[in-house]
Structure 1
Amino acid sequence: MNNFIFENKTKVYFGKGCVGEYLPKIAAVHGDKVLFAYGGGSIKKNGVYEEVIAALEKAGKTIIEFPGIMENPTYKKVLEGTKLVKEKQVDWILAVGGGSVMDCSKAISMAAVSEKDVWDEYWAKKGVVDFEPMPLGVIVTASGTGSECNGGAVITNEEVMIKTDRDYPKCNPEFALMDPTYTYTVPTKQMVAGSFDILSHVMETYFSEPDEDNVSDDISEALMRGVITSLRAALVNPEDYTARSNLMWLSTMAENRIIKLGKKCDFECHQMEHQISAYTNCSHGCGLAVLHPVYYRHICQAGAKKFTRFAENVWKIPRNGRTDEEMAEAGVEALADFIREIGLPTTLREVGVEKKEDLKEIADSCYLVDGSYKKMTHEEILEIFLECF
């Protein structure tokens, strides 16, 4: 394995009833004023809002609500939250929701204490966080991004049409409360898209060097099999606690940095989807479902050994005399079949791209990253987009 340094400071409280049991005790040791950040209001329909409010009031906290965080959080929303934090002299932030709420709250935790423009200094480019962000805790209500146990945040700057992901360890939440029953009321399409995002996170680590036997690849294969099995079970019964608890922890395991240790990682497909959703505001998981099979058809022969393992160990495809190159292709097609099985989109038209003419501008705006078995160019990204259209 390659050399690495590992760090993860987030303390996880996992299981049914964990919010009512632990949040009052956690809140008691934090400051008086808390920014209660959440999304479109679904937590007011499923009882989560009332439970969180009750726990914070039990701890004697002054609650400053910050609702309306959108699916692809914008820098404008970050600045709105930052202004509220400063005006109300907030002491800490509690993000209740899925990845978008957590990501936006991480950016606010930085902007609230930094004198710099955090987009220019920390998202437009990789910066050095030489200060302590505002204390942040999270309560997870949707599985997918794994944002609860890392410092990553994806923010869209609408003015320049750029969507960027940065991961700063100092932005890791101090704590994460994870009750799988909170995910029961997530709409089926959102649950499926989030679950595919989990699978994508694992694949982008797995499909990269080194290819020699290593712990990360072994864990990744188990995680991918787990996502496939648990998603199928959750589609049959959305309140299957075993399936929903597995999906919640699979999401965390995919993005708590463990499987990335010693790996190069291939984030190119994620970068491509970021720019598609920067232009269309589509669901991240849906965009990834469209792009992944086509992207992998372009690179699988360059990484045939690993794609063969994927076919054999994840999809259980028998050799039957196939070459590595044929097995690699079979693994990619099994992924494409699974995407159709779970009902995710398979074309860019389905996620909001209306004109082929727009695709060149989107392709040219994509970051080119290292780690892939085959180095992308903007021209090849455009080819992929056209094939997906």
Structure 2
Amino acid sequence: MNDFTFLLPTKFVFGRGVTDRVGAELAAAGYRHALVIYGQGSVIRTGTLDRVLATLDAEGIEHTELGGVRPNPEVGLVREGVALARECGADLVLAVGGGSVIDTAKAVAVGVPYEGDVWDLFAKRAKIVAEGKLPVTCVLTIPAAGSESSASCVISNDELKLKRGLSSELHRPVVAFMDPELAFTLPAYQIAAGVTDMIAHIMERYFSSVGPVPVTDNIACGIIHALVEEAPRALADPRDYDAQANIMWASTLAHNDIAGVGRNAVAGGRAGGWECHGLEHELSAHHTGITHGAGLAVVFPAWMRYVWRSAPERFLSFGRSVFGIEPVDAEADGVDVTPEEAVADAVTATIDELQAFFVSMGMPRTLGELGVTADDIPALLETLEQNKGAVFGDLQPLTMDDARAIYESCL
């Protein structure tokens, strides 16, 4: 286990009906004017936005609204939010939605005190400053990204065809309201993509170059195992409260760093090389209609097949802990197989099982299903190198030739 720094300042208000407690909690904390950010209509259709605004009105908290956040949120709306927050004098940014909405709120919050273009922060031309940065709170409606307590924020720039992440402890929301009943109206595809994203967040950390870290590894695999069990229940009956509650809490644990402590190569850093997120971000930056979790469902198994020989024991451990898959013992099982073949078969079975689970939820198996063709790959590689460099990754550093091979294997 490596040295690590773990900070989690977010207060979680979790359970049935907590949506109706937003105003009271924020008023008790002294907030007086909220910039409320939301998406493209679902929170309006379901009445969730009105419920939240009513709680603010009841406590005398002023509010200004900004809607229209799309999946794979774009910097243009962030710029609007920064200007609006300054104009209305907001002392808080309140996101009502999923990861895209929360990431937009995070970007607005750090953009307010910065005098230049907020994209400079994502382009690493400027640094986030704490002074003047607005606090963020959220009402989570879509369990997936883990943005409700993560230090991450991902924003796209359509003009540049770039999608970039910006990590900072300052991003973590001060309060997250988590009402599993809000997930009852989610489409099956959104549930499935969300669960895939959660599993990917955990696996990015699990498959780091650091050796076994038993406590953290068991937390990681335990969450994934629970998701494999709970997702089919939620898909069969979206109003299954316990299934939705477990998935919602797993969303938080998957990306607040608890599943990676001690697996970080640098003290204070995040565990893992985030190779698959890097590969997928290019897909959804160039094809903004691709749901992030759907892209990951294709990319992650392909990456695993490409790199597993760099750390076979890590992949065997994953298969054993999550799916109960062990290499056969030639002598004990009476089969004619070498130890090397037994390991390869077990790892392949593990990857097959993971991909089969994704597909069983309705996720794609190939990039072709998402409308991506071989002709798209050169453009993907161009922006991938801009974002990640000529070589990137941790478990097995990848060149652009490696990335090309992985993309091609996904078609």
So what's the TM-score if we normalise by structure 1? Answer: 0.95
Give the secondary structure class of the aligned counterpart of 1:357: helix
Query: Residue 377 of structure 1 is aligned with which of 399, 403, 406?
Result: 399
- d(CA) in 1 for partners of 2:323 and 2:361? 15
Aligned 8 A contact 1:35 1:65 in 2: yes
Residue of structure 1 in register with 2:317 after alignment: 309
- d(CA) in 2 for partners of 1:254 and 1:99? 13
Residue of structure 2 in register with 1:78 after alignment: 78
C-alpha deviation, 1:229, in angstroms: 0.6
- d(CA) in 1 for partners of 2:376 and 2:175? 42
Residue of structure 2 in register with 1:364 after alignment: 382
Structure 2 stretches of 5 or more lacking a match? Answer: 265-271, 330-338
C-alpha deviation, 1:339, in angstroms: 1.8
1:93 aligns with 2:101: no
Give the secondary structure class of the aligned counterpart of 1:148: coil
Residue of structure 1 in register with 2:119 after alignment: 119
C-alpha deviation, 1:21, in angstroms: 3.2
- d(CA) in 1 for partners of 2:402 and 2:218? 31
C-alpha deviation, 1:251, in angstroms: 0.6
**Matched letter for residue 373 of structure 1:** L
Aligned 8 A contact 2:155 2:165 in 1: yes
**Which moves more between the two structures, 80-89 or 293-302?**
80-89
Residue of structure 1 in register with 2:24 after alignment: 24
Residue of structure 2 in register with 1:275 after alignment: 282
Aligned 8 A contact 1:209 1:371 in 2: no
CA RMSD of aligned residues (A): 1.6
Residue of structure 1 in register with 2:305 after alignment: 297
Residue of structure 2 in register with 1:131 after alignment: 130
- Flag the 1:234–1:174 CA change in 2: closer, same or farther, 3 A: same
Give the secondary structure class of the aligned counterpart of 2:191: helix
| 1:214-268, Cα deviation, whole Å (9 max, x unpaired) | 3211111101101111101111111111110000000100111112212131301
1:325 aligns with 2:324: no
Give the secondary structure class of the aligned counterpart of 1:159: coil
- d(CA) in 2 for partners of 1:372 and 1:28? 44
- d(CA) in 1 for partners of 2:78 and 2:127? 19
Write the mapping of 1:152-167 to structure 2, written as runs, cut at 5 A: 152-167=152-167
Percent same amino acid among aligned pairs?
A: 34
C-alpha deviation, 1:28, in angstroms: 4.5
| 1:331-351, Cα deviation, whole Å (9 max, x unpaired) | 111112112211111121222
Give the secondary structure class of the aligned counterpart of 2:192: helix
Aligned 8 A contact 1:126 1:166 in 2: no
Residue of structure 1 in register with 2:142 after alignment: 142
Give the secondary structure class of the aligned counterpart of 1:289: helix
So what's the TM-score if we normalise by structure 2? Answer: 0.90
Give the secondary structure class of the aligned counterpart of 2:177: strand
Residue of structure 1 in register with 2:66 after alignment: 66
C-alpha deviation, 1:55, in angstroms: 0.4
| 1:117-170, Cα deviation, whole Å (9 max, x unpaired) | 3322x2112864332311211110000100001231110011211101122101
Give the secondary structure class of the aligned counterpart of 1:167: coil
C-alpha deviation, 1:318, in angstroms: 4.0
Structure 1 stretches of 5 or more lacking a match? Answer: none
Aligned 8 A contact 2:36 2:94 in 1: yes
In the TM superposition, structure 1's runs of 4+ consecutive aligned residues that sit over 6 Å from their partners are none
| Paired positions, count | 387
**Matched letter for residue 16 of structure 2:** K
Aligned 8 A contact 1:154 1:165 in 2: yes
